[in-house]
Structure 1
Amino acid sequence: MRKRLIAGALGGLAAAAVVVPMTAQAAPATPAARHVLLLSIDGLHQSDLVRYAAAHPKSALAGLLRRGTSYANASTTSPSDSFPGLLSMVTGGTPRSTGVYYDDSYDRSLAAPGSNCTTKGTEVLYDETIDRDSTKVDGGGGLDPAKFPRDPAKGCAPVAPHSYLRVNTIFEVVKKAGLRTAWSDKHLAYDLVNGPSGKGVDDLYTPEVASVPASGTAGNDDLKVTGIVHEIDGYDHTGAHRAAVPAVFGMNFQAVSVAQKDPAGGYQAGGTPGPELAEALDHTDASIGRMVTELGRQHLLGSTDVIVTAKHGQSPIDKSKLKIVGKDVLPGIVNAVKPGLVAQATQDDGALLWLTDQSKAPAAAAALRKQAAKAGIAKVLVGKDIVRRFGDPRRDPRVPDLVVITKPGVVYTKPGSKIAEHGGFNPEDTHVALVTAGPGFRNGTIARQVRTTQIAPSILTLLGLRPDALRSVRIEGTSPLPR
């Protein structure tokens, strides 16, 4: 029997440092696959996948469903941001063990970018703003360390995204086994997936999506797709240098997510995709078909497992339920308890709040609950509720002091800027698509609840490696997907 962490017994920092004894998860004697292709269609709900496959029986997604395993009740992380959503798939952990809550968060132990580290506590922002020039597809030549937070405990050194992650990744485990790794994503900040070693991904390709307008998102996805095809053909993502086909590789698709949020896009009645979203789904499906076709052309289909899922969903699907609340509302309520009380407010369709005075957390929670109707609040987590889910904010410098779960349809933003968002805790944010197809999976549907954290140990198992080589798997007791 595995001995699991008792909920609330340890703070997040302590949990991240403690390995939970558990029965060793042995690797299979014979690997089920030689390659795993992991694809995240950001924003894709299970309902989107089922609807699309039914309407397009000859599509690539329908083909994967016919020959693979569909997980009808799969959930991503809460909060449902891109960073924790992807890390769930490549570490096997939630923010409790990874220490990564959002691409825009807060750390009480770090200092601000460019500072001399005399003052601790800073926003930690890992998005296009840390590029040298986010208007360029290559980020202007890479990440700018001057824009990183600094660590007073390490001589005020800049903290790169990969160094911020507390646990190792599948890429580090696979590479240590002597196999090749690759990944493609939307920002240079996805250096994150290299893991603490900084060297987990042999071929990391991150064409900056912020360098193109929303209308160009599909074209940005195409760059990554072409890179994947080159890797299938036995080259690096540029197609210029010979390399072994990666044992684990993949990418995210961004076009569907952008179309879901665009005021001119989104869904029609009954959850039917509108024209812009339908076009994004078609384009993404054609891209997956291109990869599957290339795997077949290179005689790799029989040795490659394809996993399609999503870092996050998107809410609301029904545009009539959209309620815009300004981003000044929550901080205003909390700062009325004590001026300057909000150290950081990360808000989308949920909110994480860090306070300058943690003793005021109960009073701030009470103030938020009192104005729940105005602020679109369904529930406020504080104290023991935070500790049970994430760890103790008094012991872990990254755990938020307050978490706001919104009423369905509430988005904190400017009026007219978007019609949906992710990052929250409601089902439309967290209930994502998940289908696997290849030699390691049988055809069928699994109805019981699974989590995207189970993808990471599944990938290692498929490749004949030990799942418990992942630190988050040991800490959180994550099991592979049922097959």
Structure 2
Amino acid sequence: MTEEGTSAVKATTPAAAPTGSAAAATTSNTSAGPSNLAGAPMISMAASSASAVGTPSATPKLNNTILISVDGLHSSDLTAYIALVPNSTMATLAKQGVVYPNAYLPGPSDSFPGILALTTGNNVSVTGVYYAMDRNLYPAGACAVIGSGKPTGANGTECLFSELQDYETFSIGGAPGVGAFDGLATNVTTLQTDFPSRGLNGTAVNESTLPLDAACDPVHAWRYNQANTIFQVALAAGKRTAWIDKGPYYEVVQGQTGNGVMDLYTPEISCQCGDNQTGIPSTIITDGTGVDLAKNITAARAYDELHVQAVINQINGKHSSGNYAMQMPNLFGLNFQAVSVGQKYAGYQNNGTTFSPGLKANLDYVDQSFARILAALNSSGNAATTGLVITAKHGQQPVTTNATLISPTSIATALKNQNISVAQFTTDDIGLIWLTSSNQTTAALTYLRTLASNTSYGILDVNQPAYYGLVSNVAGRTPDLVVVPQAGVVFASPGKKLSEHGGLMQSDLNVALMVYAPQLATAGTVYSSTVRLSLVFSWHRAADHQSKGSYGRPLCGLFCEH
């Protein structure tokens, strides 16, 4: 981790170590909250200078680290929630930990680039992972037999790893007969067979839907990513690893070996399998007739409960399923969806200064879940040797208003009418354009800038990726153009969505970052200088690890011993 400058302010007197008790999770029903977030694009991040971070010091030796991504959680949300609920678990963790209010992700702020920023220490220049197109790969179906022969047709294909790659898109496990906690495996070697939704190489992913390389081999998300992950490195160093996220395609965290995570639990949030009365995920509803967990505030909490129970199982020395004993992982963590869903479908009030009741309820749930995780660490005897890193793999915007949804079809059609052919147009609160021929880049750029004066298109600016620091070193991955929407605009079809992520606005990138460890010498400190989350972990090749592969080891600004 690096930061600009060295500003640090002692915020509070350290309190007693959190116990995870019910009292620690007491919440308020008042829905007040965040200060306004600026809407200007963060366009100069790649050019920023960086120096050594203000690192938590004199920490007892930690054997375990839990990384928690509360998707959508802005830095301002954390500050506001602590002020609103001063006896919350988040408030207690802040008093006992270190808070970085000016932590920024690299762009674009989509989930895959975000999780890879946290787990590789790299941005798209190295990982090559946008929600994207690859000009060198081939589309699914280009080979008569997967893994054999040569592909037919032209190279160049969309690479959007999502629920569409699950064997059963509408199943919570992502594969036939796989429930939220199914399986009776007795040892790690049988995980691939008995736990299809968790197993090696993401076996709930249907390989017939994946892009293909020139040898007709399927390109899983973990192959698509071109950087090491912390899990891959930790496993190579003899450490135990686990991760919990929102769908089988989050096998991306496995690293380039494809097996960096020993216990990967990835129930599908987009399963549309929630009970129509309670929203609770059901293993019976597999036909898409249930509640969409990704679009329902209550159902999102029920979905996150699967994650929370799984990580508590791991803390208690069990597999994520709870079905058999495994040692507690050394490096593990989980993802929360409740805040992101609350932002999208309940939002903020009073020009972004107040949490809506729905969003507040989901923040309360996350806070109470933190208390339960701390309680599990205490009861299992692991509290003194475990640190927490609480952050988010993306923010969300807008905050001060509800999103203005503008269909991206209008932009694509306008280009087509100028005889400019678009190969791929990925949109959220940003637009990434891959042209059929990059020779038309200048013409497309010039024309799209003329549309900026027409508010019906919602365009603020258009530039080539280098302007925003979004050029990838991986051949065939970099888009030709980046379209930045006007403040509050999301390029999406009309609907109920109030906000989205993926872009370069401050509220996309300025996420929460809080580090907690027992008896931290710098407890209660707020480091106000800018922190680049893509540099939380950096890498180097170490001689003592080369025998296990040239993965290097993490040079951590948080908990690593060198």
Q: TM-score range by the shorter chain?
A: 0.7 to 0.9
Provide the C-alpha distance between the structure 1 equivalents of 2:429 and 2:160, rounded to a whole number of angstroms.
Answer: 18
Q: Which residue of 1 aligns with 2:100?
A: 71
The residue number in structure 2 matching 1:433 is 512
- Counterpart amino acid of residue 135 in structure 2: R
Of residues 233, 252, 270, the one that matches 1:210 is: 270
Taking a change above 3 Å as real, the CA distance of residues 78 and 234 of structure 1, as seen in their structure-2 partners, is: same
- RMSD value, Cα: 2.7
Q: Is the 8 A contact 1:71 1:446 kept in 2?
A: yes
Q: Tell me which residue corresponds to 1:127.
A: 162
Aligned to 1:343: 423
CA contact (8 A) 1:362 1:383 kept: no
Q: Quick one: structure 1 residues 350 and 379, their matched pair in 2 at CA, closer, same or farther if it must change by over 3 Å?
A: same
Q: How many residues align?
A: 437
Q: Within 2, Cα distance between the matches of 1:465 and 1:35?
A: 20
- C-alpha distance in 2 between matches for 1:130 and 1:298: 37
Displacement of 1:330 = 2.1
User: How do 1:91-102 residues align onto structure 2 when only pairs under 5 Å count?
Assistant: 91-102=120-131
Paired residues of 1:98 and 1:472 also in contact (CA < 8 A): no
- Residue 405 of structure 1 and its aligned partner are, at CA, apart by 1.6
Distance 1:35 1:350 in 2: 37
Report deviation, 1:56: 1.1
Question: Given that residues 166 and 196 in structure 1 are in contact (C-alpha distance below 8 angstroms), is that contact kept between their aligned partners in structure 2?
Answer: yes
Inter-CA distance 482–329: structure 2 relative to 1 (3 Å threshold): farther
Once the two structures are overlaid, the 10-residue window that deviates more, 51-60 or 439-448, is: 439-448
Q: Equivalent residue for 1:359? A: 439
Q: Please state if 1:310 is matched with 2:389.
A: no
**Alignment correspondent of 2:376:** 294
Q: Which residue of 2 aligns with 1:380?
A: 462
Matched to 2:222, the amino acid is: H
1:178 equivalent in alignment to 2:238: yes
Q: Deviation digits for residues 388-446 of structure 1, max 9, x if unmatched? A: 54147xx8201111111222211011223311000000101111000000056722000
Whole-angstrom distance in 2 between the partners of 1:441 and 1:401: 48
Alpha-carbon distance between aligned partners in 1 of 2:526 and 2:348, rounded to the nearest angstrom? 26
Instruction: Select 2:475's aligned residue among 367, 371, 396.
Output: 396
C-alpha distance in structure 2 between counterparts of 1:456 and 1:282, whole Å:
30
Equivalent residue number for residue 452 of structure 1? 533
Name the SS for the 2:460 alignment partner.
strand
Question: Which residues of 2 match residues 17-416 of structure 1 at below 5 A?
Answer: 32-102=61-131, 105-116=132-143, 117-118=151-152, 119-141=154-176, 142-152=204-214, 155-211=215-271, 212=274, 213=292, 214-215=295-296, 216-262=299-345, 265-269=346-350, 270-319=352-401, 322-339=403-420, 341-374=421-454, 375-382=457-464, 384-385=466-467, 389-391=470-472, 396-416=475-495
Secondary structure of 2:432's counterpart equals strand
- Structure 2: how far apart are the matches of 1:363 and 1:143? 39
Which residue of 473, 497, 520 maps to 1:418?
497
Q: Indicate if the aligned counterparts of 1:167 and 1:472 stay in contact, CA closer than 8 A.
A: no
Which stretches of structure 1, 4 residues or longer, exceed 6 Å deviation after superposition?
28-31
CA distance in 1, matches of 2:348, 2:553: 36
Amino acid at match of 2:331: V
Worse-matched range after superposition: 31-40 or 182-191: 31-40
Please identify, of 439-448 and 225-234, the stretch whose mean Cα deviation from structure 2 is larger: 439-448
Distance (Å, rounded) in 1 between the aligned partners of 2:553 and 2:418 = 37
Is the 2:470–2:478 Cα contact (8 Å) retained in structure 1? no
Q: 1:31 to 1:202 in 2, by over 3 A?
A: farther
> What TM-score does the superposition give when structure 1 sets the normalisation length?
0.85
- Conserved? CA contact 2:432–2:482, under 8 Å: yes
* 2:561 is equivalent to residue 480 of structure 1: no
Letter in 2 for 1:356: T
Q: Secondary structure at the match of 2:449?
A: helix
Q: Structure 1 residue 32: deviation in Å?
A: 3.6
Deviates more, 1:203-212 or 1:407-416: 407-416
Residue type at the aligned position of 2:119: V
Give TM-score scaled by structure 2 length: 0.74
| 1:445–1:208 CA distance, 2 compared to 1 (3 A) | same
What do the CA deviations read for 1:318-351 (whole angstroms, capped 9, x no partner)?
125x322112122123223325x11000000111
Give distance in 1, aligned partners of 2:394 and 2:376: 27
What is aligned with 1:25? Answer: none
Change in 2 beyond 3 A, CA 1:201/1:337: same
Aligned residues of 1:454 and 1:480 also touching (Cα < 8 A): no
Amino-acid identity (%):
37
Q: Tell me, in whole angstroms, the C-alpha distance in 2 between the residues paired with 1:347 and 1:219.
A: 28
- Closer, same or farther in 2 for the Cα pair 1:361/1:31, shift >3 Å? farther
Contact 2:100 / 2:527 at 8 angstroms: preserved in 1?
yes
- Contact preservation (8 Å) 2:126, 2:472: no
Contact 1:315 1:429 in 2 (8 A): yes
Distance 1:396 1:285, change over 3 A: same
Whole-angstrom distance in 2 between the partners of 1:365 and 1:471: 41
- In 2, are the aligned partners of 1:316 and 1:421 still within 8 Å (CA)? yes
Contiguous gaps of at least 5 residues in structure 1: 1-27
Q: Deviations over 1:176-219 (max 9, x none)?
A: 11110000000110011101101000000001111242331111
Q: Secondary structure at the match of 2:537?
A: helix
